Structure 1
Amino acid sequence: MLKQTLLASLLALTSASAFAAAETYTIDGSHTQANFTWTHFGFSNPTGGFDNIAGTITYDADHPEKSSVEVTIAIDSMNTHVADLDTHLKKPDFFDAAQFPTATFKSTKVVAAADKGDFKVSGDLTIHGVTKPVTLDAKLNRAAVHPMSNQPTIGFDGSVTIKRSDFGIGAYVPNVSDEIRIRITTEASVPKKADAADAAKAAK
């Protein structure tokens, strides 16, 4: 019993220390979604999303202001569940995916909100070749060692509302709403040492 208690205490301390200082986590694209919702003539509120999202999150639980986020989204991975709409949205009168193949977000400031685990994440959002400052409302869902990978892992939800016309995508406003509501959910993990070494070699 004493051995089990000591082991449990050791594991708890190890888990806590893994999140005590700034660490960089790689976004898990298979458990990350960026969905957007718009209004169509006031009748419906369709939703689309992107299937190819990559990036990193640097998270410091003790000093949130040292945290940061960098994300890249492949516009060609857009999925509205309507094939013809996907094709149209990638054309020049909307996202113009051929000329602007990615959207990016790079944080400039992270502030802890009054409620524990809530944050204001300000940064530069680039869509359609246009960069604008935005602030996301973010919430930490969990920070723990993942039971499958045994790697330190964090999960966040975030949301923001933007005007697409600010990014030069104003076709059919106001019949199709200018305001776009964006919701993000993500998991990110510290890469295993072998994976990190392989990534470093590939970058050279």
Structure 2
Amino acid sequence: MKTTSSLAGILLGVALAANAAPLKTDVAHSSVSAVFKQMDVPVESSFKRFDARIDYDAAHPDKASARVDIDTASFDMGQADYNKEIAKKEWFNSAQFPKATFVSSSIKPAGSNKLTVTGKLTIKGKTAEVSFPLNVKPEGGRQVFEGQLPIKRRAFNVGEGEWQDTSIVADDIVIKFRVAAG
């Protein structure tokens, strides 16, 4: 009897360890974008390159962790001139700060298919603790994580010099994301 229960314990441990492995991001079904107002007109532009590493087990969401690295030079505003401008020192300074990064410190259940995520967001060398709600749902054999993170661009020195003025580009930015992983 003792051997059977030990074997069952080992098998359970192996199964739990297998479920704790990082999920593989399905880039084709994932997106990260920024929504802001330019001259009081809403604009949404996406980052074309990012990497999301998520450890998530629906049975133990409080043990989850996440890290997202975004290539700042991949911000696509739809025009080559705008894309070059946003990579310059006054905006993302992509040459010196090629990545914006989020690393979770806490993920807590917040209701059915909802989590509250807290962690460190670093953009352009500035780091701030942020917290935001996250929706999780199964879809096509994957877990889909969706959320929005409101930030102030000037807190991260995005838009320096003459661009600190918020009459052209608003200070309020919402980072929207959808990460499909399995």
Task: Give yes or no for contact 2:52–2:179 (8 Å, CA) kept in 1.
Answer: no
C-alpha separation in 2, matches of 1:173 and 1:27: 37
| Equivalent of 2:176 in 176, 183, 201 | 183
| Equivalent of 2:29 in 28, 31, 41 | 31
Amino acid at match of 1:98: A
Task: Pick closer, same or farther for the CA change 1:111–1:173 going to 2, 3 Å.
Answer: farther
| Equivalent of 2:129 in 102, 114, 133 | 133
Task: Give yes or no for contact 1:22–1:66 (8 Å, CA) kept in 2.
Answer: no
Q: How much does 1:90 deviate?
A: 0.4
Q: Percent identity?
A: 30
Task: Give yes or no for contact 2:69–2:99 (8 Å, CA) kept in 1.
Answer: yes
Map 1:59-74; keep pairs closer than 5 Å.
Answer: 59-74=56-71
Partner of 1:80: 77
Partner of 2:150: 161
C-alpha separation in 1, matches of 2:71 and 2:166: 26
Partner of 1:196: none
The TM-score, its normalising length taken from structure 2, stands at 0.83
- Give the 3-state SS of the residue equivalent to 1:65 in structure 2: helix
Partner of 1:46: 43
Cα-to-partner distance string for 1:164-198 (whole Å, 9 max, x where unaligned): 11111242431111010111001112xxxxxxxxx
Task: Give yes or no for contact 2:33–2:175 (8 Å, CA) kept in 1.
Answer: yes
C-alpha separation in 2, matches of 1:182 and 1:22: 27
Cα-to-partner distance string for 1:10-67 (whole Å, 9 max, x where unaligned): xxxxxxx88x95342022222211111111222x101111111112111121221100
Which consecutive unaligned segments of at least 5 residues does structure 2 have? 1-14
Partner of 1:95: 92
How many residue pairs were aligned? 164
C-alpha separation in 2, matches of 1:141 and 1:77: 27
Partner of 1:118: 114
CA RMSD of aligned residues (A): 2.0
Which consecutive unaligned segments of at least 5 residues does structure 1 have? 1-16, 147-152, 190-204
- Give the 3-state SS of the residue equivalent to 1:46 in structure 2: strand
| Equivalent of 1:104 in 101, 104, 127 | 101
Task: Give yes or no for contact 1:117–1:139 (8 Å, CA) kept in 2.
Answer: yes
The TM-score, its normalising length taken from structure 1, stands at 0.74
